[in-house]
Amino acid sequence: MNNLQNDVNILIYTREPQNEYTESLGNSIHFAYCEGEEGFRPLNQNYGVLFALSTIDEKNVIQEKGLKNPYLFRTADGAFGIIAVRVDLIGNDDAESKGQILLWTSDDLITFHDHGLVKLHEDLFVKEAACEFNAVDEVYEIYWEDNKGNFYVNRLNKSMSIDNISMAEAINKYEFQHPFVNLPNIRPGNILSIDSNRGKKIKANWTPIYNTEIRVPDSVNATSYETLEQVKAEAIYSDGSTSYKQVKWDYTGINFSTPGTYIVKGKVVQETYSFPLACGYADPVILPWNNKYYYIATNDNVDDIGMYVREADTISDLFAPGFKEAVILDLDEEKDFVQTFWAPEFHVIGDDLFILFAVGGKVWAPQCHMMKLKKGGDIMEAKDWNTPVRVKKSDGTFLTQDGITLDMTYFKADGTSCVVWSYRKGIGTPLDTGSMLYIATVDEKNPTMLTSEPVLLSRPLFGWENIQGTINNEGPYPLVTDDMVYITYSGGAAGGYTYSLGLLKIPRGSDFLNVSEWVKSSTPVLSYHSINGVYGPGHNSFFKDYNGDTMIMYHGEEEIVGAGERCSAMHRVHFNKNGVPVFNMSSERDLDPKLCDITIEVVVQ
């Protein structure tokens, strides 16, 4: 192993379950980074990167899993391999994993390929394992210890064909690495030294992007205030990406009727929205429509009864004292709209504006509905909305006869219209399936009826999705770019601090109903570790404001509690140097206050 001072060291570890960081989170793979003489620094904000997949039993119930004793090694082609011992949800030996270990490979420690379980033995539990490539024999040697202190080795061919692994061979002993590092409350695996270039890419990917520089032209020719107002500042970020910001110019001393050269001061600004924006409002959505903004959300303040909409000329005015709010759908026992007016979303489908939401009757069972605005109607007028229609399958039956459906969303890409929603069966019983995401196509002329069979898209199989007594994949919302369809969704405790945003993505031009073409991230893209003071960020939406910025809305809480008050939050979505959306951009990282004061030479001719 090369130990040059310029090399980078990568530590793999799990975390001790402690305080709010539960077993479901701690029993996952974490990485830390060390360059030169500096100490190790956690990557991904000390949150897990790789989680063991749960299993599903014969009753269709999810059995949560974790992992322990991870080991990082080099593959024959210079890439990376990771092994770990799978455990049950609280870290004990897992009967389903007896004699087996987990295996991942990765070209860059940024994206990972899950090979599943590798069988080392039929009858013995694996306590710990390590893997090295034997270049002479061109095989991987997996050394491991059982629970009784005995040691073994198995050999795996160079192609890593896990079905052709050798039988376990007893050996005298193997010395596992247990390095001492300067990070508290962790369970260290091992340390791997890599070259600086690769290390910096890993660090950049798993470290939040932040503003490093502001650029404006040295000089500009101007004939009026309006000319100067068009000059924007270019914000540069740690990964080399950029974004453009408005500038408030100080016109003191400049006279556009008198030719000359003036030095003008300015302050770079990015409109920010302090948290909380609206307390007791969850699942928030903003719609820019006819030069106004409309805000809708689940209103926890009225026990989630009724559909409340706000209207304003600016985003800030939606949340300013005296905001304009109207009830456009209220409790109606005759129509069986009684409870759980959940997760309303504005969507333009075809030529019409719809609200997609879930509502239940006297018997608790929320179901997906759509409500269409009448032609030329006023969003704020209840009479201008058609009666909500419950969504049906292509055969005319409802989405479910024996569960709940909720959180339906919509997107159109490549000429195909799709809806995605959450379905759950057996909630509150031992046969609870957990909430699952389904996808289907629709005809935009009649979106309340599916045109394909529902396809299971995602289940909560990672520990961060299956935590604090919840089993959630819900709240999907699309972000369609030139090359990808992204769907964020929520997992974890919907009313608590562990609520987080997961990510599914698929290239444009794909078959959206082919689950194998979707890629699911193992780690959340927004969690309570992401932005200081916002806990349980989840159930988000996206919109583009009238300045052209893509914004993400979501709800969060002000405290680390099991179930707190859900409040609306919002910040800008950044796009990194590869055009990939970044969902965890805090206002402080978006625009460094220390860089905001600028000057420019203005030439008046």
CA proximity to 388, closest of 375, 400, 370: 370
What was the pLDDT predicted at 524?
98
Among 205, 227, 243, residue at a domain's last position:
205
Q: Are residues 60 and 45 in the same domain?
A: yes
Q: Where are the alpha helices (DSSP H) in 2-72?
A: 23-26
Q: Each residue of 434-452: pLDDT tens digit?
A: 999 999 999 999 999 999 9
Q: What is the DSSP string of 81-140?
A: EEEEEEEETTSSB-GGGTTEEEEEEESSSSS-EEEEEEE--SS--EEEEEEEEETTTTEE
Q: Report if residue 197 sits inside a domain.
A: yes
DSSP conformational letter for 362: S
Q: Are residues 135 and 216 in the same domain?
A: no
What was the pLDDT predicted at 177?
86
User: Does the pLDDT of residue 540 top 70, yes or no?
Assistant: yes
Ordered strands of the 484-491 beta sheet: 474-480, 484-491, 500-507, 519-520
**Alpha-carbon span 593 to 87, nearest angstrom:** 46
Question: Residue 17, preceding bond cis, omega within 30 degrees?
Answer: no
**Alpha-carbon span 318 to 311, nearest angstrom:** 6
Torsion, Cα 344 350 352 354, to 10 degrees, reads -10
**Alpha-carbon span 375 to 359, nearest angstrom:** 24
Q: Which helix (H) or strand (E) holds 543?
A: strand 535-544
**Alpha-carbon span 200 to 196, nearest angstrom:** 6
User: Does the pLDDT of residue 128 top 70, yes or no?
Assistant: yes
Q: Are residues 560 and 413 in the same domain?
A: yes
User: Does the pLDDT of residue 4 top 70, yes or no?
Assistant: no
Q: What value does the mean pLDDT take over residues 354-379? A: 97
Residue 97: φ, ψ to 5°: -105, 10
**Alpha-carbon span 523 to 354, nearest angstrom:** 32
Q: Which domain holds residue 222?
A: 212-271+594-604
What was the pLDDT predicted at 3?
42
Q: Each residue of 193-241: pLDDT tens digit?
A: 999 999 999 999 999 999 999 999 999 999 999 999 999 999 999 999 9
Q: Are residues 250 and 308 in the same domain?
A: no
Position 328: which residue type? I
Q: Report if residue 583 sits inside a domain.
A: no
CA proximity to 369, closest of 288, 440, 449, 439: 449
Q: Report if residue 150 sits inside a domain.
A: yes
**Alpha-carbon span 265 to 248, nearest angstrom:** 9
Distances in Å between the Cα of 356 and the Cα atoms of 6, 206, 294, 307 are: 55, 35, 15, 11
Q: Report if residue 339 sits inside a domain.
A: yes
Q: Report if residue 489 sits inside a domain.
A: yes
Q: What value does the mean pLDDT take over residues 270-287? A: 97
- 387: Cβ contacts below 8 Å, ≥ 6 apart: 335, 371
Q: Which helix (H) or strand (E) holds 431?
A: none
**Alpha-carbon span 358 to 380, nearest angstrom:** 19
pLDDT band, very low/low/confident/very high, at 5 (cuts 50, 70, 90): very low
Q: Are residues 483 and 423 in the same domain?
A: yes
Give yes or no for a contact between 327 and 308, defined as CB atoms under 8 angstroms apart: yes
CA proximity to 277, closest of 312, 230, 248: 312
Give yes or no for a contact between 17 and 185, defined as CB atoms under 8 angstroms apart: no
Q: Each residue of 161-178: pLDDT tens digit?
A: 999 999 999 999 999 988
Position 373: which residue type? L
Q: Report if residue 576 sits inside a domain.
A: no
Q: How many domains does the chain have?
A: 3
pLDDT band, very low/low/confident/very high, at 343 (cuts 50, 70, 90): very high
Residue with tokens 């210890």: 145
**Alpha-carbon span 478 to 492, nearest angstrom:** 19
Q: Report if residue 111 sits inside a domain.
A: yes
The CA-to-CA distance between both ends of the chain, in Å, stands at 65
Distances in Å between the Cα of 51 and the Cα atoms of 66, 104, 142, 523 are: 7, 11, 21, 7
3-state SS, residue 588? helix
**Alpha-carbon span 277 to 568, nearest angstrom:** 5
Quick one: tokens of 140? 């991987």
Q: Are residues 238 and 324 in the same domain?
A: no
Q: Are residues 190 and 295 in the same domain?
A: no
Give yes or no for a contact between 553 and 284, defined as CB atoms under 8 angstroms apart: yes
Q: What is the pTM of this model?
A: 0.96
Among 178, 205, 232, residue at a domain's last position:
205
Give yes or no for a contact between 464 and 524, defined as CB atoms under 8 angstroms apart: yes
Q: Which helix (H) or strand (E) holds 150?
A: none
Quick one: tokens of 605? 């001719």
What was the pLDDT predicted at 37?
80
Among 205, 231, 256, residue at a domain's last position:
205
- Name the percent of the chain lying above pLDDT 90: 95
CA proximity to 569, closest of 557, 551, 555: 555
Q: Each residue of 36-83: pLDDT tens digit?
A: 888 999 999 999 999 999 999 999 999 999 999 999 999 999 999 999
Q: Are residues 105 and 236 in the same domain?
A: no
CATH of the domain at 245: 2.60.40
Q: Report if residue 586 sits inside a domain.
A: no
Q: Each residue of 368-413: pLDDT tens digit?
A: 999 999 999 999 999 999 999 999 999 999 999 999 999 999 999 9
Mean residue pLDDT across the chain? 96
Q: Are residues 190 and 249 in the same domain?
A: no
CA proximity to 408, closest of 283, 588, 221: 283
What was the pLDDT predicted at 1?
38
Q: What is the DSSP string of 243-267?
A: EEEEEEE--TT--TTS-EEEEEEEE
Q: Each residue of 454-472: pLDDT tens digit?
A: 999 999 999 999 998 899 9
Q: Are residues 308 and 432 in the same domain?
A: yes
Q: Are residues 552 and 527 in the same domain?
A: yes
Radius of gyration of the chain (CA): 27
Q: What value does the mean pLDDT take over residues 592-598? A: 97
What was the pLDDT predicted at 77?
95
Q: Sign of dihedral through CA atoms 202, 206, 207, 208? A: positive
Give yes or no for a contact between 308 and 326, defined as CB atoms under 8 angstroms apart: yes
What was the pLDDT predicted at 469?
84
Q: Sign of dihedral through CA atoms 374, 376, 377, 379? A: positive
What was the pLDDT predicted at 184?
95
**Alpha-carbon span 265 to 249, nearest angstrom:** 6
Position 291: which residue type? N
DSSP conformational letter for 482: S
pLDDT band, very low/low/confident/very high, at 19 (cuts 50, 70, 90): confident
**Alpha-carbon span 203 to 34, nearest angstrom:** 9
The 10 Å CB-count burial string (b at 16+, else e) for 9-37 is bbbbbbbebeeebbbbbbbbbbbbbbbee
Q: Are residues 559 and 494 in the same domain?
A: yes
